Amino acid sequence: MGRLELVIETDNVSIFSPKFNGEEMTEFEKFLLNNGNYEEPQLKKDFDAILSAINKIQNDCGARENLFRLEGGCIKAIPLFIEWPRKRSLGTIRLYCIRISERLLILGNGGIKKTKTYEKDPFLGTIVNDLRRIESIIRNKSRIVHCDYDDYEEIKHILSTINI
C-alpha cells in the first residue's frame, strides 16, 4: 500500500509519484538517486534527455503525447528518442510513467534497459507492473465517480486521495 505524492506542480502540469508504505522516497526520487551519477557518456546523455523532457513538460507544454515512448495503454517511457549508433551492451536508461492527460502525469521509477523488452528484465518489469496496477486503481475509481481522464480537477482529486 501507499499513496501518490505531488512532486511537481506548475500551470502546465501536476506530476505525482508513488510512495509506498515504509519508503522514505517516492519512486521518482529513487530513479533520480540511482541513475544520476553515471560516468559513461551514453548513459549520462540518456539521463539528461529524461531531465530535459521533464523540464519541458513542467515549464513549457505539459505532458503532450508526442513526448513519450509508448509502452502500452497509459504506460509510457521517457526519453522518446535514443540516439544511434550506441554500444548495445551498455543499454539505455528509461523512466516509466503513467500519462493521464496533458495536465496529469505520474512518474514512476526506471533504470538501465539492457534487454529487448522491459518484460524480460525483472526490475523494470516490476516497475511497469506496479504502474499498471496503479493505473487500474485510478481507472476503477474514476468509473465509480463517473468522470473521465479529461476532468482535470476530479482526476487530480482521485490521485491525491487514493491508496495504491
Q: What is the dihedral of CA 114, 116, 105, 6, to 10 degrees?
A: -30
Q: Average of pLDDT values for 19-46?
A: 95
Which pLDDT value is given to residue 161?
A: 96
Query: What are the residue boundaries of the structural domains of the chain, listed by start?
Result: 2-161
Cis peptide before 18 (omega within 30 of 0): no
Give the pLDDT band (50/70/90) at residue 73: confident
pLDDT digits over 86-145, tens only? 666 678 899 999 999 999 999 999 999 988 889 999 999 999 999 999 999 999 999 999
pLDDT digits over 29-40, tens only? 999 999 999 999
Which pLDDT value is given to residue 17?
A: 98
Distance CA 157, CA 91 (A): 38
Distance CA 124, CA 122 (A): 6
Which pLDDT value is given to residue 83?
A: 67
Distance CA 70, CA 77 (A): 7
Poorest-confidence range of 16-20, 52-56, 61-65, 85-89? 85-89
